[in-house]
């Protein structure tokens, strides 16, 4: 599964928004560090967070068990599984927020924004 990722910090720095249609196109033109914007492959037995770590990236996490939301990502494209036992409220899940520590890709391609834990909506969930 091919994943294109973008660090929320870049969005914040450049004054972009999660809702921008051309977010990843803008990121491509912004000459970001390869840890902030790039691509990685997820193997079938890897969660999204594990895949990022196994390719040498450092994404935020804490509990690794669906209970803290530090690992939250925002899905721009594709689908990531969401186990039943987790902290993400339904309304945020519906908007596309997922946990990367126990989320497994359900589509062949994904576009995700990681490091979204600093968003006000998620702030309350962070333990």
Q: How far apart are CA 64 and CA 119, in angstroms?
A: 20
**Contact residue for ligand FES among 67, 79, 83, 89 (CB under 6 A):** 67
The least CB distance from residue 87 to ligand FES, in Å, is 6
- How many Cα atoms within 13 Å fall on the side-chain side of residue 12? 12
Contact residues for 69 (Cβ-Cβ < 8 A; gap 6+): 87, 88, 99, 117, 122, 125, 126, 127
**Contact residue for ligand FES among 18, 30, 63, 119 (CB under 6 A):** 63
Q: Which whole-number Å values give the CA distances from 31 to 39, 66, 69, 118, in the listed order?
A: 14, 33, 29, 23
Using the contact rule CB under 6 A, the part of the chain among 10-18, 50-58, 69-77, 114-122 near ligand FES is 69-77
**Contact residue for ligand FES among 1, 11, 68, 73 (CB under 6 A):** 68
13 φψ region: left (φ > 0), alpha (ψ -120 to 50), beta (else): alpha
Instruction: Give yes or no for a contact between 80 and 110, defined as CB atoms under 8 angstroms apart.
Output: yes
**Contact residue for ligand FES among 2, 26, 55, 64 (CB under 6 A):** 64
Asked if 69 touches ligand FES (CB under 6 A), the answer is yes
Asked if 62 touches ligand FES (CB under 6 A), the answer is yes
The least CB distance from residue 25 to ligand FES, in Å, is 29
Binding site for ligand FES (CB under 6 A): 61-64, 66-71, 99, 101
């Amino acid at each position: 599964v091919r994943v294109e990722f973008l660090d929320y910090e870049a969005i914040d720095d450049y004054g972009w928004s999660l809702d921008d249609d051309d977010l990843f196109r803008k990121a491509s033109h912004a000459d970001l560090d390869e840890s902030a914007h790039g691509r990685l492959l997820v193997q079938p037995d890897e969660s999204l967070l594990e895949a990022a770590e196994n390719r040498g990236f450092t994404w935020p996490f804490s509990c690794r068990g669906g209970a803290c939301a530090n690992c939250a990502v925002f899905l721009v494209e594709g689908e990531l599984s969401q186990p039943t036992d987790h902290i993400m409220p339904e309304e945020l899940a519906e908007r596309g927020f997922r946990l990367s520590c126990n989320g497994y890709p359900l589509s062949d391609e994904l576009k995700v924004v990681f490091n979204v834990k600093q968003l006000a909506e998620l702030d309350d969930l962070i333990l």
